[in-house]
Amino acid sequence: MNRSREFSAAAGTSGTEPASGRRLGGWSVLLGVTLLLSMAASLCLGAVTLSFEELWTALRRDPAGEAVQQVILWDLRLPRTLLAAAVGAGLAIAGTAFQAIFRNALADPYVIGASSGAALGTTLALTLGWSTGFAGLGPLPPAAFLGALAAVSVALLLAETGGGSSVTSLLLAGTALGAMLSAAVSFLLLWRDQPWFQVFNWLLGSFSGRGWSHVAVAWPYFAVSFVVLWFTARPLDALTSGEETARSLGLRVRAVRLLVIGAATLAAGVAVAMSGIIGFVGLIAPHIARLLFGAGHRRLLPASALLGAILLVWADIGARSVLAPVEVPVGIVTAGIGGPFFLFLLKRRGGRLA
Amino acid sequence: MSPVLETEALSCGYGECPVLVDVGLQVRAGEVLALIGPNGSGKTTLLHTLDRLLRPMQGEVRLEGRSIWGLAPREVARMIALAPQRETQTAWPLTVEEAVALGRAPHRGWLLPFTQADHGAVSLAMARMGVESLARRTLSTLSGGEVRRVLLARALAQSPRVMLLDEPATYLDLHYQAELLGLVRSLARIDGMAVVLTVHDLALVAPCADRVALLAGGRLCAVGTPAEVLRAEVLIPVYGPHLEVLIHPGTGAPLVLPRPPMTG
Amino acid sequence: MLRRLAVLAIVWGLPASTATVRAAESWPQVVTDGLGRSVRIERKPLRVVSMTPANTEILFALGAGDRVVGVTSWCTYPEEAKSRPKIGGFAATTIHLEAVVALRPDLVIAGDEAQSLVVGTLAQLGIPVLSVKVRDFAGLYAVIGQVGQLVGEREAAETLVGSLRRRVEAVVARSRLIPPEKRLRVYWEVFDAPVMSAGRTSMVGQLIELAGGINVFADVREEYPQVNTEAVVARNPEVILGADMTQGGALTVEILRARPGWSTIAAVREGRIHTLPADPTSRPGPRLVDGLEKVAAALYPQTAEGAGR
């Protein structure tokens, strides 16, 4: 061992700050700018195309501009774009958290039943004709949200009583529960002979008709979830190194796991309540973020959130513009991106996922 | 001097049956204790029990006189560090620096950003294990020996009072094995840690251990200095007849070598 | 002399009258149905099962209602139809094949491809099935004619088709009188979540065009597309129509105004929002013409005559 090396290192001349800190600053600015540009594009494109000038005029509510453009911009596109960005970020950050908890790069925010629970909640609301809404949003968002939370809670309980607190038993419980809930949804739809397109549209995800009330209701939940998960960055690093390692470092693994699952499910539940089940964003964004930034969660969580927002904003642009004026459910667009992405991973990374 | 870490009538294991029964050990600051024994004798199980990862079935483990299960996990982690045999998960692309930095969590906590001092400890640990040139590499791209050294560096970064090393010499090249023996000694002598390491290769015991504990048949068979424990009459009942104990001509330390059965 | 004339009259008259009788009821009858299948009826059917509400209405309108022995649970018109035995719902998955077979029908009148599975099975069991597909009014007339032919009510069918035709032509004639610049832009909302409208190939889209309106989504070929709300706002319809079914939210000014961006739409500003009875505007049966008249009355009340129902 080189004693002189020891001394110089101890003197703190090298490595006193991780070199990656500088890299983070540059990249996060780049991602932030990309998000802003994407949102601007979202405001310009759609059934009615605005030029940058028209966008600027309409944003300032200039009376000289066209009233219809202002209405479309302020009442329809702006809240929709903001919601798409928030939902994309929420799904991405939830996906990142779940992938760390399960140490599985194929985990997504719905892996322990959030989507099946939300689907059942929505289907019950539709077939039983519930009418009580929440904050002017109608009965579907609260039904979906509560369904998601209930399903995850049941999965956690099943895992505890069934196989102990390992993540494998949680995955098993979530999969079993998801299957049962999906069967219940199908049964309900057949039994009541309901218009299937209603549930399908919701199952495939859509931002159609979402307005400021959606944004107003959703943002506090997202904010809480993001803040809590940001603080779990280091514990997540420890968890991805293995449960024994984490415990050896003094981490209360069970408590942290519950906290992370709770915060991630909060984000996923609100996302699903606002816009239906949108797949792949929560799976792809963490992957891309890890490819670019590595696995350290202090960088990964915000990077993943920004990437998820960018991804979903563009998917929504696609959903609105590809077959205008017909609107494609945004979940179809994200699936269209997701499939090729995994093929790409297969080819380039030789099967390695993380 | 009172022991830093001790066990009393300890029985430990997984599931229903204990792997080890009635183990009483003591380790003092500045002392190196080597745990030896055949495969399956419970060396790793004992280390995990000492690190508060496994609950004792009977008896207790005491850290500076206090039962470790009466302490918070983080408090124990500040004082005891474990360098495991292998990491369960190296597929996740954590960099070497990030992995080693995790060792500061018990001190700095899980929420606050690291200080200058923390970063300094991390760099020092990496330098001591010779992995500072690998700082930005991800674990999945390293060789087995390099990963070993990273895990050791993390344990070092924890600045513990007790260092538990699970077969630290596996996968290491001869050069690094020698460095490791020197490291173990300096941890005890210079840093004043109590070091417990499990050893598979008996040749490594004498150069670094002050005391040796032999585990076999679910019990603590023998405990004492290397000269006392590494004797044919002690080892043959445990390992079988095909070994011989030689005395190193230079140091006078006992050397255990396998002796192939006679042919012809 | 008189007696000879009477005998001659009888002798000449008899074959003539029997000839007319034979012409009205000549079996077997063979038609090609909406799925391209050849359907053959050996004798006049006395037990008919209907698998769609529209077909039930056609059967009753032709005077064959007393021979209808099985209907779907959605067959609500006319009143007598409600009391007939039920064979299930509308979709292929909810029709009870056993119930159909137990009724021993001579003829089953089914819907289009959506029920093709059931149709295939019934045909294999040897039960004659007429599959009906109505895309436009011409198709409706043809179907009424086919059904009339197969149940032995050809005359009634011809009369019915004639009267329907005349009413439709009346509406079209009135709508032709409206100058192009006064034709109203119409948005028909099928559903609110997701927002769904009617394209040009849908029956409702055709009703709007025939009544003299301009369907704002006439550029979309799909029957019931999910459309972008921005497109509705941008296309600024002057009248908003919808069906008053329990599906979807009610179509009132307050509700539409509450939707983000909709308060600027001309129809919402002026309160020109009408809900029309659902069945006449969607069922491809004789009441479709009622639906057409109602649409015309809603769009241009001043030109619709009081004859509209």
Instruction: Answer yes or no: do A140 and C229 touch at CB < 8 A.
Output: no
Contact list in C for residue A68 (CB cut-off 8 A) is: 233-234, 236, 264
Specify if A43 maps to a domain.
no
Helix (H, G, I), strand (E, B) or coil at A233: helix
Does the pLDDT at position C187 exceed 80?
Answer: yes
* Domain C27-152 CATH class label: alpha beta
Average pLDDT over residues C149-174: 93
- pLDDT of C304 reads 60
- pLDDT of A152 reads 94
Please report, in tens digits, the pLDDT of each residue of chain A (354 residues total): 334 333 333 333 333 334 444 455 778 888 999 999 999 999 988 878 888 888 888 888 877 777 888 888 888 899 999 999 999 999 999 999 999 999 888 899 999 999 999 999 988 888 887 777 777 777 888 899 999 999 999 999 888 887 666 788 888 899 999 999 999 988 888 777 666 777 777 788 889 888 898 999 999 999 999 999 999 999 999 999 888 899 999 999 999 999 999 999 999 999 999 999 998 999 999 999 998 888 899 999 999 999 999 999 999 999 988 888 888 999 999 999 888 988 888 887 665 655
Instruction: Answer yes or no: do A294 and B120 touch at CB < 8 A.
Output: no
- What lies within 8 Å, CB to CB, of A253 at 6+ separation is A239, A243, A246, A247
My answer on whether omega of the bond before C194 falls inside 30° of 0, hence cis, is yes
My answer on whether omega of the bond before C179 falls inside 30° of 0, hence cis, is no
Q: Where are the alpha helices (DSSP H) in C35-153?
A: 53-61, 79-82, 97-102, 116-124, 137-151
In angstroms, the CA A330 to CA A278 distance is 7
* Domain CATH code at residue A211: 1.10.3470.10
Does the pLDDT at position C109 exceed 70?
Answer: yes
In angstroms, the CA C44 to CA C53 distance is 22
My answer on whether omega of the bond before A325 falls inside 30° of 0, hence cis, is yes
- pLDDT of C93 reads 73
Q: Which of A17, A103, A250 shows the shortest C-beta gap to B106?
A: A250
Contact list in A for residue B106 (CB cut-off 8 A) is: 249-250
Pairing of strands B219-224, B211-216: antiparallel
Give me the residues paired with residue B81 across strands: B163
The pTM is what?
A: 0.84
Tokens of A184: 């219940």
Average pLDDT over residues B227-236: 91
Q: What angle do CA B102, B105, B108 make, to 5 degrees?
A: 135
Q: CATH topology of C27-152 equal to that of C179-299?
A: yes
Pairing of strands B26-27, B58-63: unpaired
Pairing of strands C185-191, C239-243: parallel
Give me the residues paired with residue B245 across strands: B256
In angstroms, the CA B84 to CA B58 distance is 24
- pLDDT of C307 reads 45
Phi and psi for A191 in degrees, rounded to 5?
A: -60, -40
- pLDDT of C209 reads 93
CA dist list (Å): A247 to A86, A234, C102, C156, C305: 34, 13, 69, 86, 84
Q: How far is A156 from chain B (nearest CA, A)?
A: 23
Q: Residue B40 in contact with residue B33, Cβ under 8 Å?
A: no
**Amino acid at the residue A275:** S
**Residue A195: which region, alpha, beta or left (left: phi > 0; alpha: psi -120 to 50)?**
beta
- What lies within 8 Å, CB to CB, of A280 at 6+ separation is A108, A334, A335, A337, A338, A341
Q: What does the mean pLDDT of chain C come to?
A: 86
CA dist list (Å): C41 to A139, A153, C34, C89, C121: 52, 61, 16, 26, 18
CA dist list (Å): C95 to A189, B91, C70, C73, C76: 15, 54, 11, 10, 16
Instruction: Answer yes or no: do C260 and A209 touch at CB < 8 A.
Output: yes
In angstroms, the CA C294 to CA C288 distance is 10
Q: Which tens digit of pLDDT belongs to each residue from C218-228?
A: 999 999 998 99
- What lies within 8 Å, CB to CB, of C159 at 6+ separation is none
Helix (H, G, I), strand (E, B) or coil at A189: helix
Q: Which of A72, A197, A328 shows the shortest C-beta gap to C234?
A: A72
Specify if A7 maps to a domain.
no
Average pLDDT over residues C254-264: 87
- pLDDT of C37 reads 86
Contact list in B for residue A250 (CB cut-off 8 A) is: 72-78, 105-106
Q: Which of A1, A238, A242 shows the shortest C-beta gap to B182?
A: A1
- pLDDT of A16 reads 36
Contact list in B for residue A20 (CB cut-off 8 A) is: 95, 97, 136
Does the pLDDT at position C23 exceed 50?
Answer: no
Q: Residue B108 in contact with residue B114, Cβ under 8 Å?
A: yes
**Measured between CB atoms, does B106 come within 8 Å of chain A?**
yes
Radius of gyration of chain C (CA): 23
Residues of chain C numbered 259-278 and touching chain A (CB < 8 Å): 259-261, 264
In this complex, does chain B touch chain C, defined as having at least 3 beta-carbon pairs under 8 Å apart? no
Residues of chain A numbered 29-68 and touching chain B (CB < 8 Å): none
**Measured between CB atoms, does A324 come within 8 Å of chain C?**
yes
In angstroms, the CA A68 to CA C261 distance is 9
Contact list in A for residue B72 (CB cut-off 8 A) is: 250
In angstroms, the CA A230 to CA C231 distance is 40
Q: Which of C89, C194, C230 shows the shortest C-beta gap to A48?
A: C230
Q: Which tens digit of pLDDT belongs to each residue from B19-77?
A: 999 999 999 999 999 999 998 889 999 999 999 999 999 999 999 999 999 999 999 99
The nearest alpha carbon in chain A to B175 belongs to A1
Q: Which tens digit of pLDDT belongs to each residue from B162-197?
A: 999 999 888 788 888 888 889 999 999 999 999 999
- pLDDT of A353 reads 56
Instruction: Answer yes or no: do A324 and C231 touch at CB < 8 A.
Output: yes
Instruction: Answer yes or no: do C226 and A327 touch at CB < 8 A.
Output: yes
In angstroms, the CA A298 to CA A275 distance is 28
Does the pLDDT at position C9 exceed 60?
Answer: no
Tokens of A126: 């539709």
Q: Number of A:B CB contacts under 8 A?
A: 131
Instruction: Answer yes or no: do A295 and B93 touch at CB < 8 A.
Output: yes
- pLDDT of C146 reads 92
Does the pLDDT at position C178 exceed 80?
Answer: yes
Name the nearest CA neighbour of B100 among B142, B129, B141, B76.
Answer: B129
Q: What does the mean pLDDT of chain B come to?
A: 90
Instruction: Answer yes or no: do A211 and C264 touch at CB < 8 A.
Output: no
Tokens of A85: 């960005």
- What lies within 8 Å, CB to CB, of A156 at 6+ separation is A112, A170, A173, A258, A261
**Measured between CB atoms, does C37 come within 8 Å of chain A?**
no
Tokens 């066990």: give the residue: B7
CA dist list (Å): A117 to A143, A161, A184, B68: 9, 20, 10, 42
In angstroms, the CA C147 to CA C157 distance is 8
Interface test with C, best of A45, A71, A274 (most C CBs within 10 A): A71
**Amino acid at the residue A24:** L
The nearest alpha carbon in chain A to C197 belongs to A326
Tokens 């090393």: give the residue: B165
- pLDDT of A128 reads 81
Q: Residue A320 in contact with residue C231, Cβ under 8 Å?
A: no
Specify if A12 maps to a domain.
no
- pLDDT of A23 reads 58
The nearest alpha carbon in chain A to B47 belongs to A248
**Domain of residue A217, residue span:** 65-349
In angstroms, the CA A299 to CA A23 distance is 10
How high is the ipTM of this complex? 0.89
- pLDDT of A18 reads 43
**Amino acid at the residue B118:** D
In angstroms, the CA B165 to CA B157 distance is 14
Contact list in C for residue A320 (CB cut-off 8 A) is: 228, 230
Q: Which of A140, A208, A329 shows the shortest C-beta gap to C229?
A: A208
Residues of chain A numbered 115-174 and touching chain C (CB < 8 Å): 136, 138, 140
Does the pLDDT at position C245 exceed 70?
Answer: no
Q: Which tens digit of pLDDT belongs to each residue from C48-76?
A: 999 999 999 999 999 999 999 999 988 98
Helix (H, G, I), strand (E, B) or coil at C275: strand
Residues of chain B numbered 219-258 and touching chain A (CB < 8 Å): none
- pLDDT of C130 reads 92
Specify if A344 maps to a domain.
yes
Q: Which tens digit of pLDDT belongs to each residue from B106-153?
A: 999 998 889 999 999 999 999 999 999 999 998 888 888 888 899 999
- What lies within 8 Å, CB to CB, of C119 at 6+ separation is C35, C37, C110, C129, C131
Q: What angle do CA C18, C24, C28 make, to 5 degrees?
A: 105
In angstroms, the CA A302 to CA A97 distance is 12
Q: Number of A:C CB contacts under 8 A?
A: 93
Instruction: Answer yes or no: do C230 and A193 touch at CB < 8 A.
Output: no
In angstroms, the CA C105 to CA C95 distance is 15
Contact list in A for residue C88 (CB cut-off 8 A) is: none
**CATH tag for B5-258 (out of 1.10.3720.10, 2.60.120.920, 3.40.50.300, 3.10.20.30):** 3.40.50.300
Q: How far is B25 from chain A (nearest CA, A)?
A: 21
Tokens of A50: 């605005």
Tokens of B116: 């200058």
Identify each DSSP E strand in chain B by its residue range: 5-12, 20-23, 26-27, 32-36, 58-63, 66-67, 80-83, 162-166, 194-198, 211-216, 219-224, 243-247, 254-258
**Measured between CB atoms, does C227 come within 8 Å of chain A?**
yes
In angstroms, the CA C207 to CA C199 distance is 11
Q: Which CATH architecture has domain C179-299?
A: 3-Layer(aba) Sandwich (3.40)
Determine how many CB atoms are found less than 10 A away from the CB of residue C44. 16
- What lies within 8 Å, CB to CB, of A333 at 6+ separation is A315, A316, A318, A319, A322
Helix (H, G, I), strand (E, B) or coil at C51: coil
Maximum Cα–Cα distance across chain B: 69
